[in-house]
């Protein structure tokens, strides 16, 4: 992550790639969190 | 009701309780500091400087005050817009807390601005319509008015103004929509104010998403504040509550705790995405990074998890303490953005630390809020339905 970035293209590619991975992880994580949160709901 | 009210008044008129003594001392000191502030100017009571023109009166009284007062719009939106009627008993206390919160924000602003008598200037003399501060000022003024109208039925029931009360109650949905719109605007704009200072706010706290962070965290603050206020009220004003309020206590804590857990999870996510978007990962290995991680893990991720466990296990004690942890987290966040991570590059000698008199005024203003809250809830139908208006809400 400390690699030198020379162009805006490099910067966008790097940051957007990480964000896409985070978004997929978030979607999976939030689904799991919801199941954990409402796992003992009575209705 | 009148007889009951009088009885209630007498019951609470015990001047030398520990709370009254401490509050009395704070009020006396606060009044002395107020005289000092308005006769000798800001420099005599504050450590503010050209480097730091916004100190604890903005960081705490305004930013924290507005965030913690978000319970009003959050609760009324849940009940009147989303139809979650089971939380109806929480509306009036939340509206009152919100109304007092905003009123005290405006009071605190009079101390902070150099010439408070010019506060109406942006509205009547020179409109800075391209300014975020104008938008914040306009929204706060309008929302304070909305909160006053939303709160007024309780005062009208107490005063016996039946026709006026019925008229205002008919406006409930409209006022709720106004409240949500105005809150969305100014809660986010308070964060947006710091967008003007990209070189002053530490990169970990500076983000193009600051308005979103402030808005989402205000919802968390509002939900947690309702839980916190409800637990304190049930402890100290239990005798003022009707069976509906007493029965709904657990429902409110569980429902709001669940909402807070989900919102905290979303907030945590967008904070991490913010770090990724600005490629700020390397700052996490610094001293400020450690402090940022304390805020993010200790006061966002941890309460998120604790709320979830509390809701899952129906552990009300855990939910209440998590609400306290979350409120502390919101205070830390606003302090970080406005003071601790602000001017981070300045040498230690030039950094701002509030004087004891600034802290004293802030404590004085909070105390005024507590005293007014107690005055109102011991007299007006906040925790109970007025006998003449039962089942009319």
**ipTM rounded to 2 decimals:** 0.90
User: Does A3 score more than 90 pLDDT?
Assistant: no
Kindly state the average pLDDT of the residues B193-222: 95
User: Does B120 score more than 90 pLDDT?
Assistant: no
* Cβ <8 Å between A14 and B279: yes
For chain A, give percent helix, strand, coil, nearest 5. Answer: 70, 0, 30
Looking at residue B11, its pLDDT comes to 53
> What is the Cβ-side half-sphere exposure of residue B192, based on CA atoms within 13 angstroms?
16
Looking at residue B1, its pLDDT comes to 44
B114-118, B216-220, B288-292: segment of lowest average pLDDT? B114-118
State the Cα angle at B241 between B239 and B247, rounded to 5°.
120
Contact of B315 with chain A, judged by CB distance below 8 Å, is answered with no
Q: What is the DSSP string of B279-318?
A: T-GGGGGSHHHHHHHIIIIIIIIHHHHHHHHHHHHT-HHH
Looking at residue B12, its pLDDT comes to 54
Looking at residue B348, its pLDDT comes to 87
Kindly state the average pLDDT of the residues B199-227: 95
If we measure between CA atoms, which residue out of B329, B258, B272, B265 comes closest to residue B295?
B329
Contact B379, B158 (CB under 8 A): yes
Structure-token match 């809830």, residue found: B377
Distance, C-alpha B374 to centroid of its chain? 17
Contact B123, B95 (CB under 8 A): no
CA distance linking residue B255 with residue B278, whole number of Å? 35
Looking at residue B76, its pLDDT comes to 94
Tell me what percent of the residues of chain B surpass a pLDDT of 70: 96
pTM for the structure as a whole: 0.91
User: Does B192 score more than 60 pLDDT?
Assistant: yes
Mutate to test the interface with A, among B259, B268, B269, B280 (most CBs of A within 10 A): B269
Looking at residue A1, its pLDDT comes to 52
B119-123, B339-343, B352-356: segment of lowest average pLDDT? B119-123
> What is the Cβ-side half-sphere exposure of residue B128, based on CA atoms within 13 angstroms?
11
Nearest to A37 among B261, B282, B314 (CB): B261
Q: How many CB atoms lie within 10 A of CB B177?
A: 15
Contact of B306 with chain A, judged by CB distance below 8 Å, is answered with no
How sure is the predictor about B393, in pLDDT bands with cuts at 50, 70 and 90? low
Per-residue pLDDT tens for B243-288? Answer: 888 888 888 999 999 999 999 999 999 999 999 999 999 999 999 9
Counted across chains A and B, CB pairs separated by less than 8 A come out at: 45
What angle do the packed helices B172-192 and B210-236 form, to 10 degrees? 130
Looking at residue B125, its pLDDT comes to 87
């Amino acid at each position: 992550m400390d690699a030198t970035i020379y162009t805006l293209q490099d910067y966008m590619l790097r940051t957007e790639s990480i964000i896409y991975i985070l978004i997929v992880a978030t979607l999976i994580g939030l689904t799991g969190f919801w199941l954990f949160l409402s796992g003992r709901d009575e209705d | 009701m009148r007889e009951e009210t009088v009885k209630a008044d007498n019951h609470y008129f015990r001047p030398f309780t520990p709370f009254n003594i401490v509050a009395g001392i704070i009020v006396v000191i606060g009044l002395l500091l107020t005289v000092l502030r308005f006769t000798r100017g800001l420099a005599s009571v504050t450590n503010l400087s050209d480097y730091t023109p916004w100190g604890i009166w903005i960081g705490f009284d305004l930013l924290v005050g507005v965030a913690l007062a978000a319970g009003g719009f959050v609760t009324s939106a849940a009940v009147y817009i989303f139809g979650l009627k089971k939380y109806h008993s929480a509306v009036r206390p939340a509206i009152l807390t919100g109304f007092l919160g905003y009123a005290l924000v405006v009071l605190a602003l009079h101390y902070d601005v150099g010439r408070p008598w010019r506060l109406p200037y942006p509205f009547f003399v020179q409109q800075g319509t391209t300014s975020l501060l104008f938008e914040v000022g306009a929204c706060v003024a309008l929302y304070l008015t909305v909160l006053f109208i939303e709160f007024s039925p309780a005062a009208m029931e107490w005063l016996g103004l039946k026709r006026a009360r019925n008229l205002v109650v008919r406006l409930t949905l409209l006022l709720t929509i106004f409240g949500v719109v105005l809150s969305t605007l100014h809660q986010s704009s308070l964060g947006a104010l710091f967008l003007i200072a990209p070189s002053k706010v530490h990169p970990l706290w500076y983000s193009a998403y600051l308005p979103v962070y402030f808005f989402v965290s205000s919802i968390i603050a509002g939900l947690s504040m309702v839980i916190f206020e409800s637990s304190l009220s049930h402890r100290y004003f239990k005798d003022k509550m009707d069976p509906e309020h007493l029965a709904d206590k657990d429902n409110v804590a569980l429902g709001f705790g669940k909402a807070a857990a989900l919102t905290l999870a979303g907030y945590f996510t967008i904070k991490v995405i913010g770090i990724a978007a600005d490629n700020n990962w390397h700052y996490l290995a610094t001293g400020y990074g450690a402090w940022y991680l304390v805020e993010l893990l200790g006061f966002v991720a941890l309460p998120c998890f604790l709320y979830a466990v509390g809701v899952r296990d129906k552990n009300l004690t855990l939910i209440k303490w998590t609400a306290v942890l979350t409120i502390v987290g919101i205070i830390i966040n606003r302090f970080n953005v406005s003071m601790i991570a602000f001017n981070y590059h300045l040498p230690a000698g030039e950094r701002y630390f509030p004087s004891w008199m600034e802290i004293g005024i802030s404590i004085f203003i909070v105390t005024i809020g507590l005293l007014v809250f107690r005055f109102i809830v011991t007299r007006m139908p906040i925790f109970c339905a007025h006998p003449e208006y039962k089942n009319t809400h």
